[in-house]
C-alpha cells in the first residue's frame, strides 16, 4: 500500500480530515472516480493540485448508476494499484467507502435532474443519471471540498452535475477537465480494458467519426445528415451497434442542427464487450 496517501472509509473520517485542512485555511479539491484509474483520472488530480492545496479522490463503484444487465459485477476493481497511482500523482487522501457506508439500510432518497439528463446516455441507460446525480450529491456533501473536478469525457454527466450543484445550492465550484486521449485519438476509459486487441484497433474510429461531424458542421452542413453518416461509418468500421451520434448545444444539451452556437458532438457505441462514449467540441467560426 502507498506510504503517504491516507485512506479513509467512513464519511465521518473523510469529514474530519477535510475539516482539519479547512481550519488551517487550506483549499481542498475533490476528484470522484469509480477506480481502475488511468491517466485521465490522474489529470483531474493534477488539475486539482494546481487549483488547491490538498486533493481528495474517491473510488466507489456506484451500484445505482448501473442497469440490471450492465457491467457492475465485472467493472474492474483494483484498489491497491489505484492507491499507488494516486500517491504517485500527489493526491493526499483516498475515500474508498463500502456500499453499506454509502447506502445504509433504509436508504430511500433519489436526486433526479430533468432536462439535461434526458436523451443521449440518459435515453440509452434508463435511471443511469439518477444514480449518478444521487451519488455525486452525496459525495459532494460528504467531502465538503472547495472545488470538485470532473472530466469533459463524460460531457452529459458534467452538465448534469453543474445543474444539480446550481439547483441544490451545493457550495462547491465544479471544474471541467479536458479529455485525455491515446495517441490514436481513443479517449482513455476504464472500459477500454474490455476491448480485444482487434477491437482496440477499431476503437479510434469513434473519435474520427466525431471529428468528421465537427468538420462538416464547420462547413455549414446539417447535423442530422452528418450524424447519420457517422453512425453508418461506425457500423462499417466494426462497431456492433450505435446508441447515438448527436450534435447538441454545449451549454445545455438542447438539440442543434447548424453550428449557430458552441456545440458538442456526442456519441456512444458498442464494440466487442465495451460500450464506448466520447464527445468533442465544435465552435462557430
Ligand atoms: P469514472 O471513474 O469513469 O467514473 O470517471 C471518473 C472521472 O474521471 C469523471 O469525472 C470522468 O469524466 C473522468 N474521466 C474519465 N476518463 C477521462 C479521460 N479520458 N480524460 C479526462 N477525464 C476522464
Q: Which range of residues forms the domain containing residue 54?
A: 6-177
Given 150, 177, 204, the domain boundary residue is 177
Task: Give a three-class secondary structure readout of 126-146.
Answer: CCHHHHHHHHHHHHHHHHCCC
In-domain check, residue 284: no
In-domain check, residue 17: yes
Ligand 1 neighbours, Cβ below 6 Å, are 33-34, 40-41, 43-44, 150-151, 153-154, 177, 179-180, 187-190
Task: With cut-offs at 50, 70 and 90, classify the pLDDT of residue 1.
Answer: very low
CA of 31 relative to ligand 1 center, distance in Å: 9
In-domain check, residue 265: yes
CATH at 199: 3.30.1300.10
Nearest alpha carbon, ligand 1 atom 10: 150
- Mean of the per-residue pLDDT values of the chain: 97
Q: At which residue does the C-alpha cell 440518459 appear?
A: 122
In-domain check, residue 270: yes
Q: What tens digit of pLDDT does each residue of 31-66 get?
A: 999 999 999 999 999 999 999 999 999 999 999 999
**Looking at the structure, do residues 146 and 245 belong to the same domain, yes or no?**
no
Q: How far apart are CA 11 and CA 143, in angstroms?
A: 8
Nearest alpha carbon, ligand 1 atom 12: 151
**Looking at the structure, do residues 237 and 168 belong to the same domain, yes or no?**
no
**Looking at the structure, do residues 256 and 173 belong to the same domain, yes or no?**
no
Instruction: Note if 41 is an active site residue.
Output: yes
CA of 33 relative to ligand 1 center, distance in Å: 7
CA of 189 relative to ligand 1 center, distance in Å: 7
β-partners of residue 279 are 266
In-domain check, residue 283: no
CA of 199 relative to ligand 1 center, distance in Å: 21
Task: With cut-offs at 50, 70 and 90, classify the pLDDT of residue 258.
Answer: very high
CA of 151 relative to ligand 1 center, distance in Å: 5
Q: What tens digit of pLDDT does each residue of 162-194 get?
A: 999 999 999 999 999 999 999 999 999 999 999
- Give the pLDDT confidence score for residue 2 in this predicted structure: 40
Q: How far apart are CA 173 and CA 179, in angstroms?
A: 19
In-domain check, residue 182: no
Closest ligand 1 atom to Cα of 187: 19
From 34, 44, 57, 70, mutation site for ligand 1 pocket: most ligand atoms within 8 A of C-beta: 44
CATH at 72: 3.40.50.620
**Looking at the structure, do residues 32 and 170 belong to the same domain, yes or no?**
yes
Q: Which one of 41, 92, 128, 207 is the catalytic residue?
A: 41
In-domain check, residue 262: yes
Task: With cut-offs at 50, 70 and 90, classify the pLDDT of residue 104.
Answer: very high
**Looking at the structure, do residues 257 and 149 belong to the same domain, yes or no?**
no
**Looking at the structure, do residues 221 and 102 belong to the same domain, yes or no?**
no
Give CA separation, 173 vs 170, 199, 249, 257, in Å. Answer: 9, 38, 22, 31
**Looking at the structure, do residues 225 and 271 belong to the same domain, yes or no?**
yes
CA-based torsion, 116, 152, 213, 216: positive or negative: positive
CA-based torsion, 104, 109, 115, 121: positive or negative: positive
Closest ligand 1 atom to Cα of 41: 8
Given 177, 210, 228, the domain boundary residue is 177
Given 177, 204, 238, the domain boundary residue is 177
- Give the pLDDT confidence score for residue 70 in this predicted structure: 95
pTM of the model: 0.97
**Looking at the structure, do residues 31 and 132 belong to the same domain, yes or no?**
yes
Task: With cut-offs at 50, 70 and 90, classify the pLDDT of residue 4.
Answer: confident
Task: With cut-offs at 50, 70 and 90, classify the pLDDT of residue 213.
Answer: very high
**Looking at the structure, do residues 159 and 249 belong to the same domain, yes or no?**
no
Considering its fold, how many domains does the chain have in total? 2
Asked whether residue 142 carries a pLDDT value surpassing 80, the answer given is yes
Nearest alpha carbon, ligand 1 atom 13: 151
In-domain check, residue 183: no
CA of 147 relative to ligand 1 center, distance in Å: 16
Nearest alpha carbon, ligand 1 atom 11: 151
Asked whether residue 199 carries a pLDDT value surpassing 70, the answer given is yes
Nearest alpha carbon, ligand 1 atom 8: 41
Task: With cut-offs at 50, 70 and 90, classify the pLDDT of residue 159.
Answer: very high
Nearest alpha carbon, ligand 1 atom 14: 151
**Looking at the structure, do residues 11 and 126 belong to the same domain, yes or no?**
yes
**Looking at the structure, do residues 114 and 19 belong to the same domain, yes or no?**
yes
**Looking at the structure, do residues 20 and 52 belong to the same domain, yes or no?**
yes
- Cβ atoms of residues 140 and 122 within 8 Å: no
Amino acid at each position: 500500500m502507498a506510504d503517504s496517501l491516507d485512506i479513509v472509509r467512513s464519511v465521518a473520517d473523510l469529514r474530519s480530515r477535510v475539516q482539519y485542512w479547512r481550519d488551517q485555511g487550506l483549499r481542498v479539491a475533490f476528484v470522484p472516480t469509480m477506480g481502475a484509474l488511468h491517466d485521465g483520472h490522474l489529470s483531474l488530480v493534477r488539475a486539482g493540485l494546481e487549483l488547491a492545496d490538498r486533493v481528495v479522490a474517491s473510488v466507489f463503484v456506484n451500484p445505482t448508476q448501473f442497469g440490471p444487465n450492465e457491467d457492475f459485477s465485472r467493472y474492474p476493481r483494483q484498489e491497491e494499484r489505484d492507491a499507488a497511482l494516486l500517491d504517485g500523482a500527489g493526491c493526499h487522501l483516498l475515500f474508498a467507502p463500502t456500499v453499506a457506508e454509502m447506502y445504509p439500510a433504509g436508504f430511500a432518497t433519489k436526486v433526479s435532474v430533468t432536462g439535461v439528463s434526458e436523451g443521449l446516455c440518459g435515453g440509452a441507460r434508463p435511471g443511469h443519471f439518477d444514480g449518478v446525480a444521487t451519488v455525486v450529491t452525496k459525495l459532494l456533501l460528504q467531502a465538503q471540498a472547495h472545488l470538485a473536478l470532473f472530466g469533459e469525457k463524460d460531457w452529459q454527466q458534467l452538465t448534469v452535475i453543474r445543474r444539480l450543484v446550481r439547483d441544490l445550492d451545493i457550495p462547491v465550484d465544479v471544474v471541467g477537465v479536458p479529455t485525455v486521449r491515446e495517441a490514436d485519438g481513443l479517449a482513455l476509459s476504464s472500459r477500454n480494458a474490455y476491448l480485444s486487441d482487434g477491437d482496440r484497433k477499431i476503437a479510434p474510429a469513434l473519435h474520427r467519426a466525431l471529428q468528421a461531424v465537427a468538420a462538416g458542421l464547420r462547413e455549414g452542413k446539417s447535423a442530422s445528415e452528418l450524424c447519420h453518416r457517422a453512425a453508418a461509418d461506425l457500423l462499417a468500421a466494426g462497431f456492433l451497434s450505435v446508441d447515438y451520434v448527436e450534435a447538441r448545444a454545449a451549454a445545455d444539451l438542447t438539440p442543434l442542427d447548424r453550428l449557430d452556437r458552441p456545440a458538442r458532438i456526442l456519441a456512444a457505441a458498442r464494440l466487442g464487450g465495451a460500450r464506448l462514449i466520447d464527445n468533442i467540441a465544435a465552435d462557430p467560426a
